[in-house]
């Protein structure tokens, strides 16, 4: 069973909590609006990073990030 | 063919204004009970449509800004913040100002704040002694004024907070009342005072800015950020705009945070069955991290659970509004241009489909499955940009207090109720708790 990281950029305000939790998976980039936006660096990371990805999803104040089973 | 919007009963001369002003929370619940997911009422000629439930919230938050306008719905804030600031500015200017605010709330800034808040709490309890009683609503109003100004505007601003500043700030606050929703520019004593306070505050802040510019000093605070910020065309904020940014920041974060801290400690005192678990949690936190760091504060799930449950049960802001600029359609209903649409966290957070046993206070409650079910900070692109800071601040205050003291009620539990005198939900007055120093601290 594989998994991937999905983000809903419409809801992102660039708080950067995901980047603090898992810098190898998430970065922030400048957008057109007032906020920076999340950028997923690796949508299908190795299983070893699963716990970090979940922690990042859990830390997001806007609930932008989901871990999806494929 | 669109369906007619259900119109709630009880209008007096066609309007529900009186009921909205006297018992807003009960009224909003009544609309939902009578009309369901979508129901209309009349605010003195302004037709307003209340939308309740995650699906309705999502439609509201995902609608484009030119269709559902926050700026048009919140014009009452313009005389408080000042012309040309936030909703008193053109959208492309407001967007750039919001970006400046956001710069001070990003994670790289937040790491400094936990320590500042913890230091403020330690100063705050320095004179408490072994036991006593305290009105936590009043105490937290005072404390969060200090923590907010300290974190966001720097230590020089914080430690020169004069009585005059506090009085001016209060005059501004009194400028936000239900009548301001209808016309913030009507002739009224409290609005005169509001405008004079705004003027005087600008003089005080301009003085501060000039002093700092003359000295050439650089501080790591929001004031510095406002002073250095540039619009896209290279121009800088005027003193009028800097003052507006300061007031905007204070208003967004002050009572919302202090009331949430007060509710959190109140509910902790009301539920002594969790005391042992809470003590274990804060003792572990202190053993692992003598300094309260941002990273460490993530590891206090029960305190966070209490705070999040307080935001669910007692959300501070309960009328999230937008003006409909062109017809807004939802599930076959059409809300016409010129009306307001409104969300109410207090009502939405009690839906049993999304919050099992909604009237039970449960700090171990899991997050709801639907990300639009819980809306205490709003949602979408206009969600409170300070939300991570607010959570950090409340958790730090509560953790620092519980490391030293136990708290209990001084009055019967049912006497601590909700009131909403100035459009912000707060605990009833007085809100006194007894504190007792913990044995081993």
The H helix count followed by the E strand count for chain B is: 18, 12
- Distance, CA of A53 to CA of B291 (rounded, Å): 27
Q: Report yes or no: B140 and B261 within 8 Å, Cβ to Cβ.
A: yes
- Distance, CA of A29 to CA of A50 (rounded, Å): 23
Task: Enumerate the residues of chain B whose CB falls inside 8 A of the CB of residue A31.
Answer: none
- Hey, CA dihedral for B242, B243, B246, B251, is it positive or negative? negative
Cβ-proximal residues to B344 (8 Å cutoff; 6+ apart), any chain: B28, B32, B50, B52, B318, B319, B320
- The per-residue pLDDT of chain B, averaged, comes to 91
- Distance, CA of B374 to CA of A45 (rounded, Å): 30
B293 touching A, CB under 8 A? no
Residue A31 in this model has a pLDDT that exceeds 80: no
State both tokens at B280. 């274990």
Residue B430 in this model has a pLDDT that exceeds 80: yes
B71 touching A, CB under 8 A? no
Percent of chain A with pLDDT over 90: 64
Q: Which residue has better confidence, B115 or B400?
A: B400
Residue located via tokens 């992102």: A12
pLDDT category of residue B72 using cuts at 50, 70 and 90: very high
User: Mutating which of B386, B388, B389 best tests the A interface, going by the most A Cβ atoms within 10 A?
Assistant: B388
Supply the DSSP string of B277-290, one letter for each residue. Answer: HHHHHHHHHHHH-S
pLDDT category of residue B389 using cuts at 50, 70 and 90: confident
The pairing of strands B68-69 and B320-324 is: antiparallel
Task: Enumerate the residues of chain B whose CB falls inside 8 A of the CB of residue A59.
Answer: 298
Model-level pTM greater than 0.90? yes
Nearest CA among B143, B152, B153 for reference residue B110: B152
CB-based contact B387 A16, cutoff 8 Å: no
Peptide bond into B430 cis (omega under 30): yes
Nearest CA among B251, B365, B393, B358 for reference residue B308: B365
Query: Nearest CB to B107: which of A16, A62, A63?
Result: A16
Average pLDDT, integer, range B114-126: 89
CB-based contact B98 A34, cutoff 8 Å: yes
Task: Enumerate the residues of chain A whose CB falls inside 8 A of the CB of residue B371.
Answer: 11, 63
- Tell me, rounded to whole angstroms, the distance of Cα B251 from its chain centroid: 8
B390 Rama class: left (phi>0) / alpha (psi -120 to 50) / beta: alpha
Residue located via tokens 């669109």: B2
- Distance, CA of A16 to CA of A38 (rounded, Å): 7
Query: Nearest CB to A20: which of B95, B107, B391?
Result: B107
Q: Return the H-helix or E-strand segment holding B298.
A: none
pLDDT at B321: 96
CB-based contact B298 A14, cutoff 8 Å: no
Query: Nearest CB to A61: which of B99, B295, B387?
Result: B387
Task: Enumerate the residues of chain B whose CB falls inside 8 A of the CB of residue A63.
Answer: 367, 371
Query: How many residues make up chain B in this entry?
Result: 441
- The phi and psi torsions of B377 (rounded to 5 degrees) equal -100, 15
pLDDT at B350: 98
pLDDT at B91: 86
Task: Enumerate the residues of chain A whose CB falls inside 8 A of the CB of residue B393.
Answer: none
- pLDDT tens by residue, B191-230: 999 999 999 989 988 988 898 899 988 887 888 899 999 9
Residue located via tokens 């299983």: A47
pLDDT at B1: 59
pLDDT at B441: 56
- Residues 356-385 of chain B whose Cβ lies under 8 A from any Cβ of chain A: 367, 371, 377, 379-381, 383, 385
- pLDDT tens by residue, A42-54: 999 999 999 999 9
Q: Nearest chain B Cα to A33, which residue?
A: B95
Least confident of B25-39, B193-207, B316-330, B404-418: B193-207
User: Mutating which of B65, B299, B370, B371 best tests the A interface, going by the most A Cβ atoms within 10 A?
Assistant: B371
Least confident of B57-71, B334-348, B380-394: B380-394
Interface TM-score (ipTM) > 0.90 = no
- Distance, CA of B331 to CA of B148 (rounded, Å): 42
């Amino acid at each position: 069973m594989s998994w991937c990281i999905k983000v809903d950029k419409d809801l992102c305000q660039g708080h950067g909590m995901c980047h603090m939790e898992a810098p190898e998976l998430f970065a922030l980039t400048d957008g057109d609006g007032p906020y920076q936006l999340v950028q997923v660096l690796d949508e299908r990371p190795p299983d070893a990073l699963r716990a970090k990805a979940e922690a990042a999803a859990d830390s997001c104040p806007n609930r932008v990030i989901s871990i999806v089973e494929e | 063919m669109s369906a007619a919007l259900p119109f709630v009963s009880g209008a007096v001369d066609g309007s529900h204004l009186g009921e909205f002003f006297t018992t807003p929370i009960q009224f909003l619940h009544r609309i939902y009970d009578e009309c369901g997911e979508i129901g209309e009422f009349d605010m003195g000629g302004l037709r307003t449509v209340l939308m309740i439930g995650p699906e309705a919230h999502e439609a509201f938050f995902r609608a484009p800004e030119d269709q559902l306008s926050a700026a048009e719905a919140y014009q009452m804030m313009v005389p408080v913040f000042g012309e040309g600031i936030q909703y008193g500015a053109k959208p492309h200017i407001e967007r750039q100002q919001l970006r400046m605010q956001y710069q001070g709330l990003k994670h790289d800034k937040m790491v400094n704040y936990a320590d500042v808040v913890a230091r403020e709490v330690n100063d705050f309890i320095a004179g408490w002694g072994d036991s006593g009683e305290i009105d936590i609503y009043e105490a937290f109003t005072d404390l969060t004024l200090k923590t907010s100004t300290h974190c966001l505007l720097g230590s020089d601003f914080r430690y020169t907070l004069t009585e005059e500043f506090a009085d001016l700030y209060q005059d501004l606050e009194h400028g936000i009342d239900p009548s301001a929703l209808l016309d913030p520019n009507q002739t009224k004593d409290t609005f005169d005072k509001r405008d004079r306070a705004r003027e005087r505050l600008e003089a005080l802040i301009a003085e501060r800015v000039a002093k700092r510019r003359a000295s050439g000093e650089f501080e790591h605070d929001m004031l510095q950020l406002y002073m250095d910020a540039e619009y896209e065309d290279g121009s800088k904020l005027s003193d009028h705009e800097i003052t507006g940014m300061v007031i905007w920041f204070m208003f967004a974060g002050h009572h919302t945070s202090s009331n949430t801290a007060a509710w959190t400690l109140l509910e902790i005192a009301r539920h002594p069955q969790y005391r042992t678990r809470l003590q274990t949690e804060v003792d572990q936190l202190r053993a692992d991290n003598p300094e309260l760091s941002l990273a460490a504060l993530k590891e206090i799930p029960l305190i966070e659970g209490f705070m999040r449950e307080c935001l669910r049960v007692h959300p501070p802001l309960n009328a999230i509004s937008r003006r409909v600029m062109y017809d807004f359609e939802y599930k076959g209903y059409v809300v016409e241009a010129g009306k307001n649409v409104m969300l109410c966290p207090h009502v939405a957070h009690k839906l049993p489909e999304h919050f099992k046993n909604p009237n039970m206070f449960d700090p171990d409650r899991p997050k709801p499955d639907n990300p639009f079910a819980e809306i205490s900070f709003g949602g979408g692109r206009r969600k409170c940009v300070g939300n991570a800071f607010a959570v950090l601040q409340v958790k730090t205050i509560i953790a620092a207090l519980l490391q030293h003291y136990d708290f209990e009620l001084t009055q019967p539990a049912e006497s601590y109720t909700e009131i909403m005198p100035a459009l912000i939900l707060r605990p009833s007055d007085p809100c006194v708790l007894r504190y007792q120093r913990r044995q081993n601290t």
